[in-house]
Amino acid sequence: MLGSRDVKKMIYKEFESAYNNQIKYPDKSNPDKIHANEASRCTRLAYYERKNPLPPDSNSTISVLIKDSIRRLFSNLNSEYKVDALSILASADMIVDGEYVVKFELVSKLPATPHPRDLLYLNACLFAFDKTDGILIYTNIDGDTVEFSLTRNNRMLQEIVRRAKILSTLLKEDRVPIVEPCELCLSCKYYERCYAQERKNSSLGFLGLGKTG
Ligand code: SF4
């Protein structure tokens, strides 16, 4: 606190407003437009972000702002892949030599293998931009990097199309997707919505620690 003013709160509000300006959804009200970012991560998370979003927590706000600041240094190209009435939108950080689609991911720890979510996303970019090869670059805050290459793959495309169609249908029918347990859950702002009920209802009876009489 500085005097009677809560400066931390004021700074956070500024972060929040910058975050809201940065986050660009496809037309949120149009379930026929699904971003590859939505279809490659937890479908339930994507649904909540469209239908009943919680404000961002401070960690994700700062992380998104840092990522977007880095991405603004690059071209940030947008394209889409059409399947019947559905459009899968994709954004690439750059296209090198008119040939290689490049996607950066800022991470706290460099991975030994690429995350399937990031591969699905990059593969969607390859189809949206009609390119054959992509490069996924993980970088940490110290500037260390690790790169993985990807050649476009029809099976991975089918998977993201399948996920995008499910999300699109559930958005139209106002049905919340099932929980997709993954490592993201632990830091997800919707954790309480997905798991709190189960936690409250559980008892230790199965361990013989329930009521005795
Ligand atoms: S807690 Fe897990 S299942 Fe629930 S919305 Fe978040 S990532 Fe999805």
Q: What letter represents residue 87's amino acid? A: S
Mean residue pLDDT across the chain:
83
From the CA of 180, give the closest atom in ligand 1.
Answer: 3
Q: Which of 131, 120, 130, 122 is nearest to 161 (CA)?
A: 120
pLDDT average, residue stretch 169-182: 96
Closest residue by CA, ligand 1 atom 5: 45
1-29 pLDDT tens trace: 555 566 666 666 665 665 555 545 556 78
The model's pTM is 0.79
90-101: b or e for each residue (b if 16 or more CB lie within 10 Å)? bbbbbbeeeebb
Q: How many angstroms does the Cα of residue 199 sit away from the middle of ligand 1?
A: 15
Q: Where are the domains positioned within the chain?
A: 8-174
Name which residue leads in pLDDT, 64 or 151.
151
Secondary structure of 141-178 as H, E, C letters: CCCCEEEEEEECCHHHHHHHHHHHHHHHHHHHHCCCCC
Distance from the alpha carbon of residue 45 to the mean position of ligand 1, in angstroms: 6
Q: Domain 8-174, what fold? A: Lambda Exonuclease; Chain A (3.90.320)
Distance CA 181, CA 198 (A): 13
CA distance 62 to 87: 30
Which residue puts its alpha carbon closest to atom 4 of ligand 1? 194
Distance in angstroms (rounded) separating the CA atoms of residues 188 and 184? 6
pLDDT in tens, 101-121: 999 888 889 999 999 999 999
Report which of 117, 15, 111 is spatially closest to residue 61, judged by C-alpha positions.
Answer: 15
Q: 57-103: per-residue pLDDT in tens?
A: 766 666 666 666 666 666 668 999 999 999 999 999 889 989 999 99
Å from CA of 122 to ligand 1 middle: 22
